[in-house]
Amino acid sequence: MIKNLKKERSVVLVLTDGRSDITRDDVPLDVLCKEGIRVGGLGIKDYSGRFPNEEQLGDIVCKSNPKPGFLFLLDNFAELLEESFLQNLTASICQDKKCPNYKCPISFSTDTDITIMMDSSASVGSKNFEATRTFVKRLAESFLRAEQVGPVEVRVAVGQYSKEANMEADFTDDYHAVAKQIDGIVFQNSVTDVTGALSFVIEKFKSSGNKKKKLLLFSDARSQGVTENDIQTRVREVQAAGIELYVLAVGSQVNESNLRYLVSQGRTYDVTYAQRHLFRAVDYPSLLRGVFHQTVARKVSLA
């Protein structure tokens, strides 16, 4: 394995709690340090809350070398998904060369209507809803100012839902108009009806004709009085209407089972499809950190 890695500028990431039984494992922790390989350590607290062993982690990342590797200590595995961490990790990996600026342009090659539905239920909270509005404005700007191949029209609509669903900004290609309408959206602070929101969007998309239809739904997949069968049925209706559904789940208090149904077209769970249609954020403030909005916009824009 080491021989296969011995290439120019090779980097190995080691994900560990930094605790090795050196009495039974006679392979030294610094085994990679003399092979011309740069080592990065990701030390994470274990399930019982124990901190990683920094001394052993230091050996793993070659701290005694003239050019040591790098080390990150994380409180939990969820931090691996944070955009700020990914940016810092990328900067550490490619510190000897120019790093990517994360501004890969998005483009549309066909007429596209995109609806963004914000979760306005009480579990979100008014402060988090404000973060959602700011994030949605960034998304709208990315979509409406994207590169267009040929005479292509891209429009964005923005709505919110809790017990009821409302369209707050109808389809438009004018970013300034939609941004102003987003600023005026009032938090509903009610119970959640995700199936009702999906039915609402199906009706709204009927005016889009033959355009490509995309829906980004903010949801923790928890909905009062809704069964898994209800979710499956509604998602199949979304699929039958020619709408491509993307879901953005924030936080850890999510219904994973319902979430899987939402991002699997109402059929057998497809991991590959789900990975392209499900976004996760650790919390609402993380929506506004780094370039997460660009990541979401780019994936949604792909045909």
What is the rounded radius of gyration, in angstroms, for the C-alpha atoms of the chain? 23
Measured distance between the N- and C-terminal CA atoms of the chain, rounded to whole angstroms: 38
Between 109 and 291, name the one with better pLDDT. Answer: 109
- Given a cut of 80, whether residue 199 has pLDDT beyond it is yes
What's the number of CA atoms in the CB half-sphere (13 Å) around residue 268?
Answer: 0
What is the pLDDT at residue 106? Answer: 87
Same domain, 72 and 112: no
Same domain, 75 and 126: no
CA 87 to mean position of chain CA atoms:
14
pLDDT, tens digit, 9 for 90 and up, residues 264-295: 876 667 777 888 899 999 899 989 987 889 88
What is the pLDDT at residue 146? Answer: 87
Q: What is the mean pLDDT of residues 58-82?
A: 84
Same domain, 255 and 117: yes
Reduce the secondary structure of the chain to three states and give it as a string. CHHHHCCCCCEEEEEECCCCCCCCCCCCCCCCCCCCCEEEEEEECCCCCCCCCHHHHHHHCCCCCCCCCEEEEECCHHHHHCHHHHHHHHHHHCCCCCCCCCCCCCEECCCEEEEEEEECECCCCHHHHHHHHHHHHHHHHHHHCCEECCCCCEEEEEEEECCCEEEEEEEECCHHHHHHHHHCCCCCCECCCHHHHHHHHHHHHHHHCCCEEEEEEECCCCCCCCCHHHHHHHHHHHHHCCEEEEEEEECCCCCHHHHHHHCCCCCCCCHHHHHHHEEEECCCHHHHCCCHHHHHHHHHHCC
What is the pLDDT at residue 60? Answer: 87
Domain of 78 in residue numbering reads as: 2-93
Same domain, 146 and 232: yes
d(CA 137, CA 121): 19
Q: Please indicate, yes or no, if residue 100 is contained in any of the structural domains.
A: no
Q: Confirm if 269 and 301 have CB atoms less than 8 A apart.
A: no
Same domain, 192 and 262: yes
What is the pLDDT at residue 4? Answer: 61
- Given a cut of 90, whether residue 3 has pLDDT beyond it is no
d(CA 235, CA 261): 8
d(CA 81, CA 75): 12
Q: Confirm if 107 and 301 have CB atoms less than 8 A apart.
A: yes
Q: What is the mean pLDDT of residues 63-69?
A: 84
Same domain, 155 and 239: yes
The residue from 93, 118, 133 where one domain ends is: 93
pLDDT, tens digit, 9 for 90 and up, residues 14-24: 888 777 766 67
Nearest Cα neighbor of 214 from 294, 107, 117 is 117
What is the pLDDT at residue 6? Answer: 55
What is the pLDDT at residue 303? Answer: 62
Same domain, 142 and 232: yes
Residue 287, C-beta contacts closer than 8 angstroms, at least 6 positions apart: 131, 132, 134, 135, 250, 281, 293
Same domain, 122 and 208: yes
- Dihedral sign, CA of 157, 159, 165, 168? negative
What is the pLDDT at residue 265? Answer: 75
What is the pLDDT at residue 132? Answer: 97
Same domain, 65 and 200: no
- Given a cut of 70, whether residue 102 has pLDDT beyond it is no
Q: What is the CATH number of the domain that holds 239?
A: 3.40.50.410
- Given a cut of 60, whether residue 149 has pLDDT beyond it is yes
Q: How many domains does the chain have?
A: 2
Four-CA torsion 85, 86, 89, 90, nearest 10 degrees = -150
The residue from 71, 93, 115 where one domain ends is: 93
What is the pLDDT at residue 99? Answer: 44
Q: Please indicate, yes or no, if residue 99 is contained in any of the structural domains.
A: no
The residue from 93, 117, 148 where one domain ends is: 93
Same domain, 53 and 113: no
What count of other Cβ atoms lies within 10 Å of the Cβ of residue 242?
A: 13
Q: Please indicate, yes or no, if residue 59 is contained in any of the structural domains.
A: yes
d(CA 126, CA 122): 8
Same domain, 277 and 176: yes
What is the pLDDT at residue 74? Answer: 85
Same domain, 69 and 144: no
d(CA 200, CA 165): 7
Q: Please indicate, yes or no, if residue 101 is contained in any of the structural domains.
A: no
